[in-house]
Chain A
């Protein structure tokens, strides 16, 4: 873990000096995480791809502002992603579809299980995007990305205790929404 952090720090230093190849490695390391974070917020591939690319460009342009001694790089990167999404929603608040369909994860279940799982995942994905932004973020970071509370607190710039409270409230609210949908 320490070795990995050191190597990331070296890549960041090189990329900060304009080394495009080093930035390419950073892109390879974090693309999936950033894309997933964006995808679950916007709910469709096209927007997720556009926004992810824009986020990485923003990351490169802001690398000189990253301080190695501060928050972990991943937390800093997610903060940029989060701010970019906030700007995106500000611009296109009315254009976002809350009922966009979601493809379903498949890990060889029985047909009945598959149908049930598809329905659950579809319902959860759609309901999730009806939650307030802060609840969506915490659900994606904590339950889908499985990040530590410490790191989430750095991304959201909130105390760990607040992160725990948010998690609990977000889950409760999501469950309520899902149950109400069934009524």
Chain B
């Protein structure tokens, strides 16, 4: 029977227990994960420390410079603009400058993925507003931005794919609904280029029989819908 008289020695020996030493893989991987996280933008920390990490500072400086060059007021005002509005090209241009000036690695990836998120947000907003043509343009912008980012060197494509997966459902749903709306429009529109009114005259209160008769025979001429041309990315290209 062991009385554990050597208990202190046994405890001392536990110091050298193999399992009590971090494995090499953990040592390296945890170090990489931690340092990446510490170098990431403030988003990684809900309440970042006052001392801002140097890479973030560089990125913020570059972005501030871009804002200054492009005209402070316009760029700020453009950040919430949607496709089809006058300030939208300014928004796209400021993003491209920010992406171009961002340091490589996680910061560049963060800027790139935020661009994808913004395009998806635009699709969502316009879709909710029910603006069919603009929504279609927003979806095209989304696809174009994704393609551009995938071609950007030094962006973490795995991270990009994660963001794409997040928006996949929204984009598919919008595309499906847009297609459905388009088909419906083609079905309901007479080929003669005329459109019958949706509300029948009898549904309108205070309309006389005579008015009804007039309305029945009345045809409304189709007014071609204004087409919003897809955004040409080259238009926003900033010269070095």
Q: Which residues of A contact B (CB under 8 A)?
A: 16-21, 23-24, 27-28, 31-32, 35-36, 39-40, 45, 49, 52-53, 56-57, 60-61, 63-64, 102-107, 116-117, 120-121, 124-125, 139, 143-146, 171, 174-175, 178-179, 182
Q: Which residues of A contact B185 (CB under 8 A)?
A: none
CB closest residue in chain B, given A104: B17
* Chain B interface mostly: helix
Query: Given the interface contacts A53-B33, A61-B45, does A105 sit within 8 Å of B27 by beta carbon?
Result: no
How far is A36 from B22 in the complex, measured between Cα atoms in Å? 8
CB-CB contacts of B1-30 with A at 8 A, as 1s and 0s? 111100110111111111111110011001
Q: List 23 A-B contacts (CB under 8 A).
A: A20-B35, A20-B39, A32-B22, A39-B19, A45-B19, A49-B26, A52-B22, A53-B30, A53-B33, A56-B30, A103-B18, A106-B18, A107-B13, A116-B2, A117-B13, A121-B10, A121-B13, A121-B17, A144-B14, A144-B15, A144-B20, A175-B7, A178-B2
Q: Which residues of A contact B13 (CB under 8 A)?
A: 105, 107, 117, 121
CB closest residue in chain A, given B17: A105
Q: Which of B14, B21, B51, B53 contacts A121 (CB 8 A)?
A: B14
Q: Which residues of B contact A103 (CB under 8 A)?
A: 17-19
B101 to chain A minimum Cβ distance, whole angstroms, is: 20
A-B contact count (CB 8 A): 119
Q: 7 shortest A-B CB distances, which residue pairs?
A: A143-B11, A103-B19, A18-B53, A20-B38, A18-B51, A35-B22, A105-B17
Please determine whether A23 and B38 come into contact, CB atoms closer than 8 angstroms.
yes
Q: Which of A49, A116, A145 contacts B22 (CB 8 A)?
A: A49
Q: Which residues of A contact B27 (CB under 8 A)?
A: 31
Q: Which of A53, A63, A124, A145 contacts B15 (CB 8 A)?
A: A145
Q: Which residues of A contact B57 (CB under 8 A)?
A: 18
Please determine whether A64 and B30 come into contact, CB atoms closer than 8 angstroms.
no
Please determine whether A60 and B22 come into contact, CB atoms closer than 8 angstroms.
no
Please determine whether A45 and B35 come into contact, CB atoms closer than 8 angstroms.
no
Q: Is B54 an interface residue (CB 8 A)?
A: yes
Q: Which of B8, B12, B30, B35 contacts A52 (CB 8 A)?
A: B30
Number of interface residues of B (CB under 8 A): 39
Please determine whether A24 and B31 come into contact, CB atoms closer than 8 angstroms.
yes
How far is A49 from B37 in the complex, measured between Cα atoms in Å? 17
B57 to chain A minimum Cβ distance, whole angstroms, is: 8
A33 to chain B minimum Cβ distance, whole angstroms, is: 10
Please determine whether A143 and B8 come into contact, CB atoms closer than 8 angstroms.
yes
* Chain A interface mostly: helix
Q: Is B34 an interface residue (CB 8 A)?
A: yes
Q: Which of B4, B23, B51, B53 contacts A179 (CB 8 A)?
A: B4
CB-CB contacts of B207-239 with A at 8 A, as 1s and 0s? 000000000000000000000000000000000
Q: Which residues of B contact A102 (CB under 8 A)?
A: 17, 19
Q: Is B147 an interface residue (CB 8 A)?
A: no
Please determine whether B30 and A16 come into contact, CB atoms closer than 8 angstroms.
no
How far is A52 from B22 in the complex, measured between Cα atoms in Å? 10
Query: Given the interface contacts A19-B54, A27-B34, A182-B2, does A105 sit within 8 Å of B7 by beta carbon?
Result: no
Please determine whether B34 and A61 come into contact, CB atoms closer than 8 angstroms.
no
Q: Which residues of B contact A17 (CB under 8 A)?
A: 51
Query: Given the interface contacts A49-B30, A105-B13, A171-B7, does A39 sit within 8 Å of B20 by beta carbon?
Result: yes
Q: Is B69 an interface residue (CB 8 A)?
A: no
Q: Which residues of B contact A16 (CB under 8 A)?
A: 49, 51
A63 to chain B minimum Cβ distance, whole angstroms, is: 7
Query: Given the interface contacts A60-B38, A120-B10, A178-B4, does A105 sit within 8 Å of B26 by beta carbon?
Result: no
Query: Given the interface contacts A35-B20, A145-B15, does A53 sit within 8 Å of B8 by beta carbon?
Result: no
Q: Is B52 an interface residue (CB 8 A)?
A: yes
Q: Is B50 an interface residue (CB 8 A)?
A: yes
